[in-house]
Amino acid sequence: MHLLADYLNEIDVHPDSVYVMHEKVERKFSMHSHIKGQLTYVEGGIAFCNMPDKSYVIPARHYIWIPKQQEHYMQIRHSKSTTTRNLYFYSQDDHLTPFYNKLGIYPVNDLLLEMINYSARWERHVLPGDPGFRFLSSIKDILPDISTSALPVALPTTQHERLRPVLQYIAQSFDQQLTLESVSSQFDLSPRTLSRLFTNILDMSFVQYLQTLRVVRGIEMILQTNQTLSEIAYQTGYSSIAAFSKVFYQLTNKRPSSFQQDVH
């Protein structure tokens, strides 16, 4: 635990540096924040970035930009082969470009991938004037220009005592034919009451939450199994690939077949 605290504290020791960390350490931190902006690239598998109120899914061949002072912790599920590459950038000039002040998940093109991989030759702090600083700074500089299409898959979370067990039930049963009525009856609630809980606490409807959860699980299956899209559609609660594809496109602006090609 002391070693983790040392890692976490060191990131912000030099506010004007770029801090490079490719070890599997970021995923071990509990909820925390930095005074630096953070780029985390997911290499293989899938990662989750958990905020106090939402959980963001980060597929392979995507990166997440986490603005300064944003509380978060990273989570890797299932796959030991999943690695992340982390770059922490000085934030003194972030107010000049709106991109750096907004959390987002973006696909990584070939140019950015080569640059991120090349950054592996540095470790820890790279200060202005050090070899490599201008190169690392150029990674930050190009992000607003090449990252124009964010992946909007965020799953709300809550500690609300009445809604939390409902979400746990849905997470365990998402492959079944769930309805507002069937779920509310499991918890001795009226459909109207449950609907209000979703709207007031999570700021989305029951159906929107269920669709988002199913797409997140579908992304996990695309990345971590060899199942066909038809099998994935069925295992996420849809009776046809067409129905799954429609919802997937609504949330990600991509068809699952196109997404599958991009990440493999």
Residue 46 has pLDDT above 70, yes or no: yes
**Quick one: 88 and 198 in the same domain?**
no
Spatial CB neighbours of 200, under 8 Å, sequence gap ≥ 6 = none
**Residue with the larger pLDDT of the pair 177 and 264:** 177
Residues 235 and 120 in one domain: no
pLDDT confidence band for 143 (50 / 70 / 90): very high
Q: At residue 35, what is the residue type?
A: I
Token pair for 254 = 């991509």
81 and 166 within one domain? no
Beta bridge partners of 124: 20
Is residue 20 domain-resident? yes
Looking at residue 1, what is its pLDDT?
47
What band does 136 get if pLDDT is binned at 50, 70 and 90? very high
- How many CB atoms are located within 10 Å of the residue 203 CB? 10
Number of domains making up the chain: 2
Asked if residue 151 belongs to a domain, the reply is no
- pTM, to two decimals: 0.81
Residues 214 and 86 in one domain: no
What pLDDT score was predicted for residue 184? 94
Residue 259, token pair as written in the block? 């997404």
Please give the angle made by the CA atoms of 138, 140 and 143, to the nearest 5 degrees: 105
Distance CA 37, CA 91 (A): 6
Q: Read off φ and ψ for residue 235, nearest 5 degrees.
A: -75, -10
Owning domain of residue 62: 2-146
Is 114 within a domain?
yes
* Boundary residue ending a domain (146, 173, 195): 146
Q: What is the mean pLDDT of residues 32-52?
A: 87
Residue showing tokens 């509310």: 184
Tell me the CATH number at 11: 2.60.120
